[in-house]
Amino acid sequence: MKGYTSLASIQHDISSGKITISGLVSHYLDVIDSKKHLNAFLEVYAEEAMHKAKQLDDKLKKGTAGRLAGMVLALKDNICYKNHRVSASSRILHEFTSLYSATVVERLLAEDVIVIGRVNCDEFAMGASNENSAFGPVLNDADNSKVSGGSSGGAAVAVQAGMCLAALASDTGGSIRQPAAFCGVYGLKPTYGRVSRSGLIAYASSFDQIGPITRSVSDMQLIMEIMAGPDELDANTSAQAVDKYSEHQAEKKYSIGYLKEALEHEGVDEEVKKATWNIINKLKELGHEVREISFDMLDYLVPTYYVLTTAEASSNLSRFSGLMYGHRSPNATDLESTFRLSRTEGFGPEVKRRIMLGTFVLSAGYVDAYYTQAQKVRRLVQQKTNELLKTCDFIISPTTPTPAFGLGEKASNPIAMYLADIFTVHANIAGNPAISFPASVTQNGLPVGVQLMGRNFEEAQLMKLASDLSEATEQR
């Protein structure tokens, strides 16, 4: 069976009798089995997926199937699915079974998506390489010696390697876009509040957003159209109407600003710069106005992000105490030792590092010097970003400073690892939507992604422009 890159092509072949959904699921299960070495999947719902496929084949014959019939999807291991395990790739939640499904999962299931399994990620979504998972790193299918990116490395590789058509993941500081760039697929971080966070295991609540990873923009548009919108279970979701993303055909010429500081940054790989300039030139060829803009707060983004997100993580992860659910140390003898030993044994090194950093910046005597100041900088970043987006429609930059780096290359240097997020954290701090799309491949065969960031709730225009660029550059 051929490797499909869009639901439209799958549904075309189903309607013409070339394939069945049962055959499609069987194909994906075979690919998953043949690529176990990538360590993308933590659990595969083989029997359940085949049963659902047979039901959908019958529904198709009756003409009652939903819009997503034929889409096989993977879930990042921090998105809840009722009666299925969810662990955030942490030993502290190993074997925990969710009592309910995330709102986004319910909405997609209602349109007959098939969930084929849960995929690996950095523990509690904290990482830029997927090396922080309690269950081992995910390998990049383009080069198994390279990282997949994080924290949604399993989701990106599952799509990259043809183990499923699409995946749902979360993005707190680039966790969808960075692995999408490393793996040569599409990744969208929606506007904060566009998609419900109900059923997402929280890392940093004012930053987290669920979004899709796909092999085509058309699938991304359809997934977003179905799962976006207000949710009474998440008070931060916007009541603003959801656009018909899948029908958005507006043809207009945009004004795009490229970040001078990003393309001149000393840490940006030359091939990444070249790929970004090629996209800028392609935008000009397509008739768009492209000009240089300046954002003088670039070097403040990563410190601001890590002060604020670790503070929120310290608070959010306090619920994992060994008392109510998850891992409880068998060596505990009293209340204090239950807390101390359960958390020591259950959390990995990076999660502990961020909890301690967050606790420090919130502590008496330091909260004003760090947390309060970071909140002020966040407000300035939001204001500056909104000012820039009044002068242009989109901001373009590399998604990542480099292509995928080697396994273990940055594992012993947290600062170097954190700087891998330098271009992606901007959208999370400001709350704006941003998309990473495949732009080129390096001489060594590694994918390079370029990022577009737009105005709040303008995902329709963002995805359409990415689609136009992909068609123009033949990056599909």
Domain residue ranges in the chain? 1-476
Q: What are the per-10-residue average pLDDT scores of the chain (476 residues)?
A: 94 97 98 98 98 98 97 98 98 96 98 98 97 98 98 98 98 98 98 98 98 98 98 97 86 92 92 97 96 95 97 97 92 95 97 97 95 98 98 97 96 88 97 97 97 97 94 68
* Residue 476: closest CA among 446, 433, 454, 447: 447
d(CA 121, CA 135): 9
d(CA 31, CA 471): 27
Active site residues: 76, 151, 175
Asked whether the beta carbons of 34 and 125 are under 8 A apart, the reply is: no
d(CA 41, CA 347): 20
- At a CB cut-off of 8 Å and minimum separation 6, what does 381 contact? 297, 300, 301, 304, 426, 429, 430
The pLDDT value recorded for residue 2 is 83
Q: Which amino acid is at 304?
A: T
SS3 content of the chain, % helix, strand, coil (to 5): 45, 15, 40
* Residue 432: closest CA among 380, 386, 469: 386
The pLDDT value recorded for residue 414 is 87
d(CA 381, CA 262): 15
Q: Say how many CA atoms lie within 13 Å of 426 toward its Cβ.
A: 29
The pLDDT value recorded for residue 476 is 40
- At a CB cut-off of 8 Å and minimum separation 6, what does 66 contact? 110, 111, 112, 113
d(CA 246, CA 467): 12
Overall size of the chain counted in residues: 476
CATH no. for 1-476: 3.90.1300.10
What are the residue ranges of helices labelled H in 286-372? 298-316, 335-346, 349-361
How many Å is the maximal CA-CA distance in the chain? Answer: 70
- Whole-prediction pTM: 0.97
Relative to beta strand 143-147, strand 139-140 is antiparallel
Q: Residue 145: which H helix or E strand, with range? A: strand 143-147
